Chain A
Amino acid sequence: MSSTTIVSILIAGILTNNMVLSKFLGICPFLGVSKKTKTAFSMSIAVTLVMVISTAVTWPIYTYILYPDYTYLQTIVFILVIAAIVQFIEIVLKRYIKPIYNALGIYLPLITTNCAVLGITMLNITDELDFVKSLFNALGAGLGFMLAMLLFSGVRERLETSDISEFLKGLPVTLIAAAIVSLSFLGFAGIGG
């Protein structure tokens, strides 16, 4: 596989096909945990980590066990595998890498029911990517999630102090700000082919 394919997969994941802003996956953490840049960053690191590890596990399961006879079990197997992986990562981090656990541990339980993780593992299958491409696709999606979270947490910190009409206060103005951030991402369309 050439390095240009990897680069274009990464660029697509981060910019043109951004997980949150163009595929609408992972909106809950995007709106819920983006109030502070620091929490937004830790959450995105945890999501990226879980996405890459989940892809590394679900791709072989689908390709070598479920395909071609049991593909209808995809949904149920994937969600259970992801739930198990999240638990496993939590236990391993808690036992062996305490500092990382202290920084990321609280985000892990939230990730099981995050549609971004299940979404990316399924997209890798529907897009018929091979194993290495799938891993880079997951990495790109995770980094794209991080970029969107960081940009948006910056926007929200500004929103906090600005004077907003009573009608739009709270969630509505957050959504409209997200619309503008997403509009700016439309400008990347076409990059990386």
Chain B
Amino acid sequence: MNSKYISTFTNGLVKENPTLRLVLGTCPTLAVTTAAVNGIGMGVSATLVLICSNLVISLLRNVIPDKVRIPAFITIIAGFVSVVQMLVKAFLPSIDKSLGIFLPLIVVNCIILARAEMFASKNGPLLSVLDGLGMGLGFTAVLTVMGAIREFLGAGSIFSLPVTSEIIDPMIVFLLPPGGFFVFGILVAVSNAAAKKKGKKPVESLGCENCPSRNMCTRVQIGCEDAKEADADE
């Protein structure tokens, strides 16, 4: 029994890392990682929301009617996001400023809805909390690493401590949007290579199998069909 809890927790950290393996929540990943500390701020806020929403959704999983579950999940998530938003605003105003609009946008972060839909609505509260914690920490870790890389290359510092900024002119483009896409692309490539070594499938595209909204668009699944075609081409 014990190993089940441990594997649920570690699942989100490495094997199903939400950012690199499931490729969810790309918007905040790209937007806020201009500095390592922003990555931590975003990651911890999302983790808090994820743990709380997973817990509540798991407790209510037998009460919420199946047909209205997505709106119900969104409402629960939005409630916790508002709480976290107010806390950050009150206690960490500088983080609030640098995360800006992406703090309230945690509501539409696919990771949270995806875990609600795929995990919390099917598992007990303790497992769901562990899943939220693991997924959240996995998200935080990637954001922090990515923030550190971009900060190092783009500003010559890590966690605002100057490293090379005195010696070399930093490449500011890494702090700008193109740098975000580029660093994320390289990170996914590295994670793909690592996954391949272990005999797992690399991430080809944003597949529908991980998309929380995939059950909402039952009629035709545009993105998914594209993904299937890509698989067939291989």
Contacts and interface: CB of A to CB of B under 8 A. Distances in A.
Interface of A: 21-28, 31-33, 35-36, 39, 43, 72-76, 79-80, 83, 105-107, 109-110, 112-115, 118-119, 122-123, 126, 167-176, 178-180, 182-183, 185-186
Contacts of A79: 74, 78, 107-108
A113 B206 contact: no
A80 B75 contact: yes
**Size class of the contact patch on chain B:** 35 or more
Contact of B185 (A32, A33, A173): A173
13 contacts: A28-B211, A31-B206, A33-B226, A76-B81, A107-B222, A169-B204, A171-B185, A171-B205, A172-B189, A174-B205, A175-B181, A175-B182, A176-B181
Nearest to A21: B177
Contact of B78 (A36, A75, A168, A182): A75
Contacts of A176: 181-182, 185-186
Contacts of A168: 185, 189
B180 interface: yes
Q: Is the interface of A mostly helix, strand, loop or mixed?
A: helix
Interface of B: 23, 26-28, 30-31, 71, 74-75, 78-79, 81-82, 85-86, 100-101, 104-105, 107-110, 113, 173, 176-182, 184-186, 188-189, 192-193, 202-206, 211-213, 216-217, 219-220, 222-223, 226, 230
B82 A75 contact: yes
Contacts of B26: 27-28, 31
A24 B82 contact: no
A73 B82 contact: yes
Contacts, number: 160
Contacts of A28: 26-27, 110, 206, 211
Given A79-B74, A172-B186, A186-B176, 16 more contacts: A33-B222, A75-B82, A76-B81, A79-B78, A106-B222, A109-B213, A110-B213, A112-B74, A113-B110, A113-B113, A115-B27, A119-B105, A170-B230, A172-B185, A172-B192, A179-B178
